[in-house]
Amino acid sequence: MTLKPPTDVPAVVETRLAHDVHRVATALLAEAALDASVPLDATAQLRDFLVANLRHHHQTEDDDLWPRITAKAPAAAKALDSLTDEHDQLDAALDRLAGVSVHVDEAVGGDPLATVSPGTGDGAASTGEAAVRAALYDAAVTVRDVVHDHLTHEEPVLFPALREHVSPAEWQDFAQRVIATTPPVAGHLMVGFLDEVGTPAEVELVLSGLPEPVRPLVPGMRLQAEADLDVLRGTGA
């Protein structure tokens, strides 16, 4: 099958896909948090994936991509600084999300940090799980809303800047640095989300940047992601 090639420059395609993954994944975490059919360890895995990847994504923008753009377009600095301020707001939301315990024996009586004592029985465990899910939901909704709002502000600034001020060679160098430093936290979920938000050609463009030793692992990562995402959506076995 011949894949229809992407219609935009790789910098915009890859950034758009990353943003769309963040949109879908943050929305899914909020939905899964309150779904009693979704095991808490599955939501914990998605939470950890999001916290690690969102932090890494905006840190690479602030520390590497923004300087590349402003070196060629100093007038863009003010708009990019405003986006960095929003990244700081996101960090606060991520801190709260990361701090939610997802262990039922650490959440009882509405306090997600309280410890269930021996002999408290199933009722206390149920109360503890409800407390965990409520705390996780509240924190996840905040992250979701911050991310979605931020991306509506960022993309109209960033996409034109990527087209106009970042050469293909510069983007390739940046993308390779990002891949090399990406935290190894539930990386298979990234493959699964990419498949959901991108065309086959767009996904292939992103995955072609993976290190050679990792590429043979992609089919297995894809299968694992499909299974885990089914569980998170309450459709898994």
Per-residue pLDDT tens, the chain, 237 aa: give them: 455 566 789 999 999 999 999 999 999 999 999 999 999 999 999 999 999 999 999 999 999 999 999 999 999 999 999 999 999 999 999 999 999 988 766 444 444 443 333 334 444 447 788 889 999 999 999 999 999 999 999 999 999 999 999 999 999 999 999 999 999 899 999 999 999 999 999 999 999 989 888 899 999 999 999 999 999 998 865
Contact of 47 with 225, CB cutoff 8 Å: no
**Percent of the chain clearing pLDDT 70 (strictly above):** 86
Q: Which is nearest to 159 in space by CA: 14, 45, 24?
A: 14
List all residues 6 or more positions away from 172 whose beta carbon is below 8 Å from its beta carbon: 10, 209
Give the C-alpha separation, 33 to 40, whole Å.
8
Render pLDDT for 51-95 as a digit per residue (tens, 0 to 9). Answer: 999 999 999 999 999 999 999 999 999 999 999 999 999 999 999
pLDDT value, residue 122: 47
**Please, are residues 131 and 115 in contact by the beta-carbon 8 Å criterion?**
no
Which sign, positive or negative, has the C-alpha torsion 162, 167, 168, 169?
negative
pLDDT given for residue 6 in this prediction: 62
For residue 116, the model assigns a pLDDT of 34
Largest CA distance in the chain: 65
Enter the tokens of residue 215. 């590429």
DSSP three-state, residue 169: helix
Angle (deg, nearest 10), helices 218-232 and 40-60: 120
Q: Which tokens hold the place of 208?
A: 């072609």
pLDDT digits (tens, 9 = 90+) for 210-234: 988 889 999 999 999 999 999 999 8
Q: What is the pTM of this model?
A: 0.87
